[in-house]
Structure 1
Amino acid sequence: MTETEILTSLNQVFRDVFDDDTIAITPATTAEDIEGWDSQAHVNLIVAAEVRFGIRFRTAELESLHNVGQFAELIRAKL
C-alpha cells in the first residue's frame, strides 16, 4: 500500500470516528487540528485503524507519534 492509499483509508477512519465527513487529514495533522480529538477519541482511532488495516499496535509504538504522517508511516511499516 502506498502512503497516499494509507492516508486515504486513514482519512475515512477519522471521518468515521469523529462522524464528520468534512475532515481532510494531511501528514501534518495533529490532535490540535481536529475538534473532539481527546484521549477517548484517540483510543477509538487506534482501534479503528487496527481493524481497517488488519494490524495491531504496541503502546510503545504509539507513544512516539506526533502527527498523522508518523502514524501513516507506522501503518505502512506494519503492513
Structure 2
Amino acid sequence: MDTDEIIQQVNDIFKDVLDNDDIKLTEGTTANDVDEWDSLNHIQLIVAIEKHFKVRFTTSEIYKWKNIGDMCNMIASKTQL
C-alpha cells in the first residue's frame, strides 16, 4: 500500500470521526489545519486508525508525528511487516 492510498483511507476516517465531508488531507496537514481536530478527537482518530489498519502506536511514536505524512509513513512501515 502506498502513501497516497493510506492518505485516502485516513482522510475517510477523519471525515467519519470528525463528521465533516469537506476534509481534504495532504501529507503536510496538521491539527492546526482542521478545525474539528482537537485533543479529544485526536484520541478518537488514533483509535479509529489503529482499528482500520490493524496496527498499534506507542505514545512516543505518536509524539514524533509532525503532520499527516508522518502518520501515514508510520502506518506504511507497520503494515509492511
**Bin for the TM-score computed over the shorter chain:** over 0.9
Distance in 1 between residues matched to 2:41 and 2:66, nearest whole Å:
15
User: Runs ≥4 in structure 1, deviation > 3 angstroms?
Assistant: none
Shift of 1:26: 0.2
1:74 paired residue number: 74
Structure 2: stretches of 5+ with no match in the other structure: none
2:6 paired residue number: 6
Shift of 1:12: 0.3
Distance in 1 between residues matched to 2:71 and 2:54, nearest whole Å:
15
Root mean square deviation, CA, Å: 0.6
Distance in 2 between residues matched to 1:18 and 1:36, nearest whole Å:
6
Structure 1: stretches of 5+ with no match in the other structure: none
Q: TM-score, normalised by structure 2?
A: 0.94
For 1:28, what is the secondary structure of its paired residue? Answer: coil
Distance in 2 between residues matched to 1:57 and 1:64, nearest whole Å:
11
CA deviation string 1:8-34 (max 9, x = no partner):
100001101110111000000000000
Alignment length (residue pairs): 79
For 1:21, what is the secondary structure of its paired residue? Answer: coil
CA deviation string 1:25-45 (max 9, x = no partner):
000000000012111011011
Q: TM-score, normalised by structure 1?
A: 0.97
Distance in 1 between residues matched to 2:24 and 2:9, nearest whole Å:
11
Q: Percent identity?
A: 42
